[in-house]
Amino acid sequence: MPELPEVETTVSGLNKKVQGWIFFDVWTDFKEMVKRPKNFLQFKKEIRGKKIKEVRRRAKNILFKLSDSKTLLIHQKMTGHLLVGKWQFKKGQWIPSPGPMSEKFNTFIHLLFIFKNGQMLALSDLRKFSKVELWRTKELEESEYLKKLGPEPLDKDFTFKKFREIFKKQKGKIKQVLMNQEVIAGIGNIYSDEILWEAKVNPFYQTNALADKELKRTYQAMKKILRRAIKLKGTSISDFRTISGEKGYYGKEKKVYRREGEECRRCCSKIKRVKIGGRSAHFCPICQK
């Protein structure tokens, strides 16, 4: 699933491309992807003519601020990613220009926005789990969906003091708490593993039992790892690609995620993989005792 660095990479790319573009039409072969309004024809009618004013991220959601006080929300879920370019519809499928867009993971196009300038925004999603919604901006901002999300880990005002206050109140294993979107926004399986390795904290540790020094290391590792991953345009181990169809580079320097049986890059012990709450956790049994 695209996590904070991948979504931030997408939003950054979109802001450089799509501001000022006006929606002209929408195509889909899977209407169920559009959740709001549930009638796809109504969705097409409401979004047509709207101008993109700004794109921002909240947790793992991409929010397009549109004209007429509307917001388009896209959550890429497990295997979705957005692409910007031009395609031609031939023999029942959208064919891109030669280049990165032709790569396999960029060809599962199930939703495509067409703009008045001839440009296109495509949602490629192998498993078709992505969620697309059109909201009145004020209604979305006041919705329980956004209000229940935790703080953004890279916000300047998210200090260690606030981090400690939140995490001391939590019960549960630190790996699971880091991934809880109502505790902290945007972190998933990849970066929780990477953060805990960097901090030398065992993923099984109970959050409310961690010493301040362990919490401090986790807080500092969180900031460091997320910023580094954004700089490298995210992780493309499987599906994620940038809006130009290219891979991110963080996967080349990941320390533990999907490295089961390989040597720890700190102490040379073998990386282990275990299950915590139904999700995989990768860690070094020596460094993260």
Catalytic residues, by residue number, are 2-3, 60, 279
What's the length of the chain?
A: 289
Whole-angstrom distance, CA of residue 87 vs CA of residue 110 = 13
Residue 89's CB is within 10 A of a number of other CB atoms, namely 11
DSSP 150-194: ---TT-TT--HHHHHHHHHT--SBHHHHHH-TTTSSS--HHHHHH
Whole-angstrom distance, CA of residue 121 vs CA of residue 119 = 7
SS3 readout for 4-62? HHHHHHHHHHHHHHCCCCEEEEEEECCHHHEEECCCHHHHHHHHCCCEEEEEEEECCEE
Whole-angstrom distance, CA of residue 239 vs CA of residue 36 = 25
For the chain, the farthest-separated pair of C-alpha atoms sits apart, in whole angstroms, at 61
Quote the tokens at residue 184: 């902290």
